[in-house]
Amino acid sequence: MSGSYEYLIADHTPAGEKLRRTLVKKLDQAERNSFDYVWEYAARREQLPPPGDWRIWMIMAGRGFGKTRAGAEWVRMIAENHPDARIALISSSLAEARAVMVEGESGLLAVCRPGNKPIYEPSLHRLRFASGAQAQLFSAAEPETLRGPQHSHCRRSGAEGIFRQSSLECAGRATCAGHYRVAGNASRGGT
């Protein structure tokens, strides 16, 4: 766990237990239910975006680290806080982007609160968020499709693009509006 409530969880004294019970009683049922979706408190520090002004954030870790979840949560945070965001979601294929990044157990549809899930339009390879932000799916196998659309943010998934066809070059083919950020992930050993 990370976040400003970390000390409450670590405090196993009677006073800590009492404080936790008091806080829970003050939350209504909707607040209690939505707390499961507060990634900033559930994530490990290394799963959260780095602070400051950065252009590229890459997570290179083994299976089970939570790379897919961290990427989906980053996209969700961008979409919720930037209504004008246009996000490119790049994977090795459109099928993989849909199966893992959108519909997977750690994908965008799974990490968004009930009632606040984006609308997925499979025929357009697009997700529309309630804020107005949009995410478009792309295949790294077809980098020319990234030419033209304007993107403010980009998420790239998978080691195959980073080490075999340069995912940053692929992401760089996207036409980006002003300052943009690219988040990518890869498994160690290319698995």
Q: Which domain CATH number covers 142?
A: 3.40.50.300
Q: Are residues 85 and 30 in the same domain?
A: no
Could you give phi then psi for residue 3, rounded to 5 degrees? 120, 175
CB-CB contact of 101 with 71 (8 Å):
yes
| The predicted structure's pLDDT at residue 117 | 95
Q: Are residues 148 and 65 in the same domain?
A: yes
- 109 contacts: CB under 8 Å, gap ≥ 6: 102, 103, 117, 118, 120
Residue at 118 is within a domain: yes
Q: Are residues 61 and 31 in the same domain?
A: no
Residue at 142 is within a domain: yes
Higher pLDDT, 42 or 188: 42
Q: Are residues 28 and 97 in the same domain?
A: no
Residue 144, classed as helix, strand or coil, is helix
Q: Are residues 35 and 62 in the same domain?
A: no
Q: Are residues 115 and 161 in the same domain?
A: yes
The number of beta carbons lying within 10 Å of the beta carbon of residue 96 is 18
Q: Are residues 58 and 142 in the same domain?
A: yes
Residue at 178 is within a domain: yes
The number of beta carbons lying within 10 Å of the beta carbon of residue 114 is 8
Q: Are residues 128 and 79 in the same domain?
A: yes
Distance, in Å, from the CA atom of 47 to the CA atom of 43, rounded to the nearest integer, reads 6
| The predicted structure's pLDDT at residue 184 | 65
Domain span at residue 154 reads 50-190
65-109 tens-digit pLDDT: 999 999 999 999 999 999 999 999 999 999 999 999 999 999 999
Residue at 45 is within a domain: no
| The predicted structure's pLDDT at residue 45 | 87
Q: Are residues 83 and 114 in the same domain?
A: yes
Q: Are residues 140 and 87 in the same domain?
A: yes
Q: Are residues 19 and 60 in the same domain?
A: no
pLDDT at 2 over 60: no
Number of domains in the chain: 2
48-57, 65-74, 92-101, 179-188, range with the lowest pLDDT: 179-188
